[in-house]
Amino acid sequence: MGHPADRRRLVHWAKHRGHQVTLDLNQRHDVLVLSGRADLTSWSERKNRSPLILDLVDGYLGKESLWRDWVRGAGKVITGHNSGIPRPYRKIVGDACKLAQAVICETVEQKETILPYCLNTHSILDFHEEFPMIPFNRNLQSKNFPALMWEGFPFTAKGLLLLEEAILEISKSKPISLEMVTDLEYPLFLGKYFYQNTEKILQDIPKILGNQFMLTKWSLDSVVEAAGRSHLAVLPLDPSGTLNPLKAENRLLMMWRIGLPTLASPSLAYLRVMRDTRIDGICKTPDEWKMKITEMMDSVELCQESVERGQQYIRDTHSEKTVLESWDRLFESVL
């Protein structure tokens, strides 16, 4: 239960509501909650089980090329992650949703893809309280600008290649740095096989930046510390990543929480949140990345406005109380 998708979701709710989470299914339990990493087929088809809730944080029921879907599904079966015969992963997830008493996802956009399989579907974002709400720091903005920060899992870092052109152009006139806060290596296949160094994902970017590039091992403290020496968070998404259009806004809200103005690629959730906050923070092309990074460089007021609007949005729509109540309604719906 140390994975972020565990501790920021069910475990956090259970601790605050006084419930026990057990991994020993021989113990008495009222509800069975499965993450997307479980054997969805085995548990959803089991007879005489407790009410089943699927927690699907990724958009596996969105649009996906057939060959990718087959490779993912067959790989899950062949490696023992899932039961049954090799088949598309969308089929595995869809069948499990049909047998579940409820499904949780993260965004309203994901919810639309799940409703044809399960009408009792709830969109609930992560809890973010493990990160402090830090006011925008105007004093930092005058020092060594621009210092970019990226945070996330290594397999999503390929999106940073969208910034290579912007970094090259900006570096011609002034120093620009990039700090990645992530795992130092990552598995290429199914989350556990064929590890390689994370820096390799970025191709020439570390070479271009030289000593202005930093790769920092992920921890809660290192994320906050990196934010304290950064000016701007960047959330570029690899356009070839078929799950990226349905990616949730968690990282955007987390960057605002720790006091950073943020630019992002146009996932459906990022577009929605930027529109709701009236922040012009979406970058669709390499030229837009260069232009908007430059705009932020030239305006402390624009940076401050971005953080303040983002933090107000969090207080209005994503308080801990609001998310706890969403989990309450979920469990009430199956008990």
CATH assignment at residue 221: 3.40.50.2000
pLDDT for the residue 193: 63
In contact, 4 and 318? CB cutoff 8 Å: no
Residue 276 and residue 309 in one domain = yes
Structure-model confidence comparison of residues 316 and 189, the more confident one? 316
Cβ atoms within 10 Å of 235's Cβ, excluding its own:
24
On whether residue 230 sits in a domain, the answer given is yes
Residue 158 and residue 278 in one domain = yes
pLDDT for the residue 177: 93
pTM score of the predicted model = 0.91
Say whether the peptide bond before residue 239 is cis (omega within 30 degrees of 0). no
pLDDT for the residue 290: 94
Residue 278 and residue 190 in one domain = yes
Label residue 1 by pLDDT band (50, 70, 90). very low
Residue 287 and residue 328 in one domain = no
C-alpha 60/C-alpha 96 separation (Å) is 12
In contact, 137 and 156? CB cutoff 8 Å: no
Label residue 187 by pLDDT band (50, 70, 90). low
Reported as type and span, the H/E element at residue 6 is helix 4-7
pLDDT for the residue 46: 86
pLDDT for the residue 124: 96
What number is the average pLDDT over the span 209-216? 91
In contact, 261 and 306? CB cutoff 8 Å: yes
Whether residue 175 is predicted with pLDDT greater than 90 in this model: the reply is: no
Q: For strand 52-55 and strand 102-105, is the pairing parallel, antiparallel, or unpaired?
A: parallel
Residue 42 and residue 160 in one domain = no
Residue 156 and residue 121 in one domain = no
The total of structural domains in the chain comes to: 2
pLDDT for the residue 202: 86
Which of 69-73, 142-146, 271-275: highest mean pLDDT?
Answer: 271-275
On whether residue 300 sits in a domain, the answer given is yes
Mean pLDDT of the chain: 90
On whether residue 113 sits in a domain, the answer given is yes
Whether residue 323 is predicted with pLDDT greater than 70 in this model: the reply is: yes
Residue 239 and residue 120 in one domain = no
pLDDT for the residue 189: 59
On whether residue 130 sits in a domain, the answer given is no
Q: Which backbone phi and psi does 326 adopt, to 5 degrees?
A: -65, -40
On whether residue 288 sits in a domain, the answer given is yes
Share of the chain above pLDDT 90, in %: 61
Residue 247 and residue 146 in one domain = yes
On whether residue 132 sits in a domain, the answer given is no
Residue 214 and residue 287 in one domain = yes
Q: What is the pLDDT of residues 160-169, one digit of tens each?
A: 999 999 999 9
Residue 84 and residue 146 in one domain = no
What number is the average pLDDT over the span 92-107? 94
Whether residue 90 is predicted with pLDDT greater than 80 in this model: the reply is: yes
On whether residue 133 sits in a domain, the answer given is no
DSSP-assigned letters across all residues of 7-25: HTTHHHHHHHHT----S-T
Residue 264 and residue 115 in one domain = no
Q: Which domain holds residue 46?
A: 4-125+319-332
Residue 191 and residue 283 in one domain = yes
pLDDT for the residue 104: 96
On whether residue 26 sits in a domain, the answer given is yes
Name which of 13-22, 56-65, 320-329 the model is least confident about: 56-65
